[in-house]
Amino acid sequence: MNWLAAILAAVFAFGVGGLWYGPLFGRAKLEEVGPGGLAARRAPARTLSITAALLVVSATMMAHMFARFGEGTLAAKPWLYFMMSGGLALAFVVPALLISYTHQRLSTRLALIDAGYWVVSYLAMGVAFWLVG
């Protein structure tokens, strides 16, 4: 398993989050959470630490998955990095998120903003694994 790639993948996903919930969709998310969600304006250090740690967990599992494919297969079929990382997001993370948001009666707009983040961040993780190869 490639630990360097796993850490880099988590850093990439964390960076995507900074852009996604900052200049790209930060204002839209705040509009959805409303006045009672003003605490969402600032991410306390604890929230950022938990986010980073859990992204490392996800990236570590992805590293394990890619290690099972083997370097030869991934070198011959580099699209697997993106197919598998994006597939994980689309087949597992996004459905779980949407089910949870539906049960909580959260808006579709908020669900799509967050779902989009997970797809893009998992693809960014795929890029990290492909770059380190």
Minimum mean pLDDT range among 18-27, 44-53, 84-93, 94-103: 44-53
- Look at residue 128 in the predicted model and tell me its pLDDT: 97
Determine what percent of the chain falls in helix, strand and coil, rounding each to the nearest 5: 90, 0, 10
Higher pLDDT, 91 or 31: 91
CA distance linking residue 124 with residue 120, whole number of Å:
6
CA distance linking residue 98 with residue 112, whole number of Å:
8
Domain residues for 58? 3-132
Instruction: Provide the domain count of the chain.
Output: 1
What tens digit of pLDDT does each residue of 11-37 get?
999 999 999 998 999 888 888 876 665
- Look at residue 46 in the predicted model and tell me its pLDDT: 81
What tens digit of pLDDT does each residue of 49-84 get?
999 999 999 999 999 999 999 999 999 999 999 999
**What average pLDDT does this structure show over 72-101?**
96
- Look at residue 54 in the predicted model and tell me its pLDDT: 95
